[in-house]
Chain A
Amino acid sequence: MVRELLLEIAEKTVKLASKERIDQAQANAFIRDTALTRYANSQIHQNVASKAGGVALKVVKNKRIGTLRINSLEDEQIQRAVKNVVKIAKVTPPNKDFRSLPQPQKWTPIKGVFDKETADCSPDYRAQRVREIIETAHSKSPKVKAVAGSFFTGSMAFAISNSLGVSAWAELSLASVATTVISRAGRSQGFGSWEQHSRCVKNLDAVAVASQAAEKSVQSVKPSRVPPGEYEVVLSPLAVSTFLDFLGYIGFSATPYQDGESFIKYHLNKQVFDEKLTVKDDARDPKSLFTMPVDGEGVPKRETQLIEKGVVSEGSICYDSLTAGREKKQSTGHAAPPFLGWGYFRPLPINMIASPSDSSLEEMIADTQHGIFVTRFHYTNPVEPTKAILTGLTRDGTFLIEKGEMSKPVMNLRYTDSMLSALRSIPLVGKELQCLQETTVPAVKLEKLRFTGITEY
């Protein structure tokens, strides 16, 4: 079993490090075995697989911390890495914020999150699903000219051990499909996209994803210009996911909170969002994609209430052991697992689940007099984190809603707005949740979102 092998490697590495007269040591051994079939212009153009594994090491001596990561599970490489990380720690000045690596805590594995069929999925299976997607999309309309996207399958596992007795592991399989469909009418193009994620490849409905994307694409050709300004908006789950992802990064992470750059710091225990907005981070909830029992330091995952009926509090902040130690608190179990890779260098909520309500998407549209429907956002980035101001553009299906009906496609719009304003009034929340990597969210209707610019398509 992969996890047993990884646990053996992690424990052996900690024992090796402990012989080097250090105070504390931690080793996280991981494997990421993934494959992805990518298609564009209605054919496969990239088709890849890779098996990466390694050990992330941390040693502490008199509060001097050294960290080193190797992409190898070989004995010789690990032995060399242990020597090197000890050398690094010895020449590093003490970190006064460091209190301790996590103490062992009781944890229980989560059953049913690893699907062997998904982990071992063949390139032929992925190619067959891609064929279905392409054929389905083209069958919807002669206007459909090109289908692009990716079909991903794989598995990830890590095992963590530290010199205080932590010994834990996590293992899960993952599958996802994302499709963008391009349609043409004369010189005008229309775009539509959709995606699905699951821990089990058989749960992905390639035909449904293709149908959704193709429908949006065909409907969005020949878009009209609408003037920038404040509009009511109906956001699909894909669009909601972007807002929540960024709130996690700039708000709920302990790093910006401690730096004074998180908006939460200035709105503790206040009604900052609409009371219909409740969001938790819960890695043990099967509705979340990255389901895992422990974090990257072996701290058991538990539910963190990020937003409770629109209110944020100190309990909303996500800590790993170092950021928790800085405030003399306990880690909330948000150290990034080693297989997530680039970008996860601060404690983050990656299992955010918004509470659903009782509205359908049709009801949200019917409730809108003059608004914009957004399928998804593109290239969103923070403009001013303390005020939670974000900017980005709509993409892949933006429509004008007039008198309760989607009346016509519109050219993509740029929004620049504070989430403190945009999410302050949420008249309707959807009843169906969609799992989208770090978030599981419903569609929502916002009373207003400020659009500041327009593209030319």
Chain B
Amino acid sequence: MSEELGNIALREAAKNGASYADIRIGEIFDENLTVKNGVPEEVNVLQSRGFGVRVIVKGGWGFAGSVELSREEAKEVARRAVKIATASSKLKKKAAKMVPAETRKAKYSTPMKKDPFKIPVEDKIEVLMQAERTLAKQSSLIKTSQAHFRAFRENKFFLSTEGAEVTQQIMWCGGGMSCVALRNGEAQRRSYPSSFRGNCGTSGYEFFESLKIVEHAKDTGREAVKLLDAEKCPPKETDLILYGDQLALQIHESCGHPTELDRALGTEADYAGTSFLTPDNLGKLRYGSKHVNIVADATVRGGLGTFGYDDEGTPARQVHLIKEGLFVGYQTSRETAAELGLRKSSGGMRADSPLALPIIRMTNINLLPGGWKAEDIIEDTRGGVLMLTNRSWSIDDRRLNFQFGTEIAWEIKNGSRGKMIKYPTYTGITPQFWGSCDAVSKDDWMMWGTPNCGKGVPGQVMYVGHGCSTARFRKVRVGLIR
């Protein structure tokens, strides 16, 4: 059906004047389970399918999508896309041009051991119930406790007038838990393994099992309660050590987004913003210290942004963004790569559904491991703060001034963890911050998944990954809450 439908749409588009056309036909299964305060708050399944046709007519782009998978609708949607592209062509300074296609016929599916959709729902809920119960019973001060599971499967078929024919199945799953301890109007939250519903990776159910959430519930609950009695993060300039779960979001916001070439070229200026990493800085701007090596890598096993081919049919690859502190690369599409004079796309075009237009999205943006052991970084620090687990985030529209808050921190004094600190926050300017990075560990390097990255108009939500470990930054301003 897919191939036939795809060919019908592409023929119709070409017949009506499209010089290029592609179609993505897809089906998504998305299972969300949440247990909160002893009851299953969310047992929700989303099943969606549809297709989207993207065309170029007289140098202008057009896109149309529909949920109705029929031959007639395929023709109708193709004609609609052509009509839209024709309108675009009337207000286009230069014709759309892309670097050459790299893929003809290909297949990919996420490697996995256990299909998460074949595990009975009741078994998954039972794990969540156990974890949630354990969290709740740590203290009567814990007023909210919850545990989550999510599994996602996307089957997609890509066909283009250039001869590409790509079939993929992307599978990911994960979960986590959190609780809130409340006393006199003060709320302290702890999450495991990370905030915002935990951690996810492209994998089977074995990934969720590896999180061992029930085993970690006791410590998670107790930490939330202890935070109520902790000291507030004092305002000062100090050395900052970030654990991977917080560093992942720091990478996401201050390196992932500004190295998206559409932002740098101004096409996201109206919403997400632009980027301080403009093309004239490529290969020249010192983004960070020599310890900072960051790649976009859609090939790393288990990463939430791992796949076989992007939504333009470009094969997954690794691209250096920052090399020994120097800004050296962008995340691109075929069109933006051509605009910059590059030979290849980085393979970053992704859409959150068949009905959405692919745009440049992060794959896995990874800070490569350094030479330290995480514990050695702490032992090497005379005075500082170790922060874990994101609680709040904000960054300006060129990705320079950022401010993050975390759930918990520890004072570091003479090479050892000292007292627990609550309301930790830190702020900085991106290149100065990364320029102050003087240690990156290797022993605790792992992948963190961000399943909710928002971008674009109309808004799209994408699943992306970040590989990182513990790292240290010198003289950072902390303690912004009065």
Q: Is A43 an interface residue (CB 8 A)?
A: yes
Chain B residue nearest to A413 (CB atoms) is B401
* A51: B residues at CB distance < 8 A: 65-68
* A146: B residues at CB distance < 8 A: 266, 269
Chain A positions 240-281 with a Cβ under 8 Å from a chain B Cβ: 259-261, 265-266
Chain B positions 115-170 with a Cβ under 8 Å from a chain A Cβ: 120-122, 125, 129, 143-144
- Minimum CB–CB distance from B151 to chain A (whole Å) comes to 13
A453 and B401 contact, Cβ closer than 8 Å, known pairs A46-B357, A49-B64, A69-B46: yes
17 contacts between A and B (CB under 8 A): A38-B457, A47-B63, A47-B84, A48-B64, A50-B65, A50-B355, A51-B66, A51-B68, A71-B47, A73-B67, A130-B91, A342-B459, A378-B397, A383-B405, A393-B397, A393-B401, A414-B396
- A455-B400 in contact (CB<8A): yes
* B435: A residues at CB distance < 8 A: none
Chain A residue nearest to B397 (CB atoms) is A378
Q: Is B342 an interface residue (CB 8 A)?
A: no
Q: Is B50 an interface residue (CB 8 A)?
A: yes
A66 and B43 contact, Cβ closer than 8 Å, known pairs A50-B355, A93-B129, A395-B397: yes
Chain A positions 275-321 with a Cβ under 8 Å from a chain B Cβ: none
A182 and B48 contact, Cβ closer than 8 Å, known pairs A96-B38, A453-B401: no
* A91: B residues at CB distance < 8 A: 120-122, 125
Chain A positions 372-403 with a Cβ under 8 Å from a chain B Cβ: 378-386, 389, 391-393, 395
- A88-B392 in contact (CB<8A): no
Question: What is the bound-complex CA distance between A124 and B398, given in angstroms?
Answer: 33
- B403-A416 in contact (CB<8A): yes
A453 and B43 contact, Cβ closer than 8 Å, known pairs A40-B269, A392-B394: no
- A180-B63 in contact (CB<8A): no
B398 touches which of A54, A66, A266, A455 (Cβ 8 Å): A455
Q: Is A70 an interface residue (CB 8 A)?
A: yes
Q: Is A14 an interface residue (CB 8 A)?
A: no
- B396-A385 in contact (CB<8A): no
A380 and B39 contact, Cβ closer than 8 Å, known pairs A48-B64, A51-B67, A150-B457: no
- A92-B121 in contact (CB<8A): yes
Question: What is the bound-complex CA distance between A68 and B38, given in angstroms?
Answer: 21
Q: Is A352 an interface residue (CB 8 A)?
A: no
* B80: A residues at CB distance < 8 A: 49
- Residue among B38, B47, B64 having the largest count of chain A Cβ atoms under 10 Å: B47
- A342-B461 in contact (CB<8A): yes
- A36-B457 in contact (CB<8A): yes
Chain A residue nearest to B65 (CB atoms) is A50
Interface residues as binary, B30-58 with A (CB distance below 8 Å gives 1, 0 otherwise): 00000000111111111111101000000
Question: What is the bound-complex CA distance between A150 and B459, given in angstroms?
Answer: 12
Chain B positions 434-482 with a Cβ under 8 Å from a chain A Cβ: 457-459, 461, 480-482
- B427-A72 in contact (CB<8A): no
Chain A residue nearest to B357 (CB atoms) is A48
- A96-B270 in contact (CB<8A): no
- B41-A95 in contact (CB<8A): yes
- A123-B270 in contact (CB<8A): no
* B122: A residues at CB distance < 8 A: 91-92
Q: Please give me the 7 A-B residue pairs with the lowest Cβ-Cβ distance, nearest first.
A: A71-B48, A123-B87, A50-B65, A148-B270, A40-B267, A148-B269, A91-B122
Question: What is the bound-complex CA distance between A272 and B127, given in angstroms?
Answer: 42
- B61-A47 in contact (CB<8A): yes
- A44-B47 in contact (CB<8A): no
Q: Is B172 an interface residue (CB 8 A)?
A: no
Chain A residue nearest to B431 (CB atoms) is A456
Chain A residue nearest to B81 (CB atoms) is A49
- A50-B356 in contact (CB<8A): yes
Q: Is A19 an interface residue (CB 8 A)?
A: no
Interface residues as binary, A141-178 with B (CB distance below 8 Å gives 1, 0 otherwise): 00000101110100000000000000000000000001
Q: Is A457 an interface residue (CB 8 A)?
A: yes
- Minimum CB–CB distance from A151 to chain B (whole Å) comes to 10
Binds A, one of B179-187, B198-206, B207-215, B375-383: B179-187
* B481: A residues at CB distance < 8 A: 383-384, 389, 416
- B480-A416 in contact (CB<8A): yes
* A96: B residues at CB distance < 8 A: 38-39
* A416: B residues at CB distance < 8 A: 403, 480-481
Chain A positions 63-88 with a Cβ under 8 Å from a chain B Cβ: 65-74, 77, 81, 84-85, 88
- Minimum CB–CB distance from A278 to chain B (whole Å) comes to 25
A40 and B47 contact, Cβ closer than 8 Å, known pairs A383-B392, A389-B481, A456-B429: no
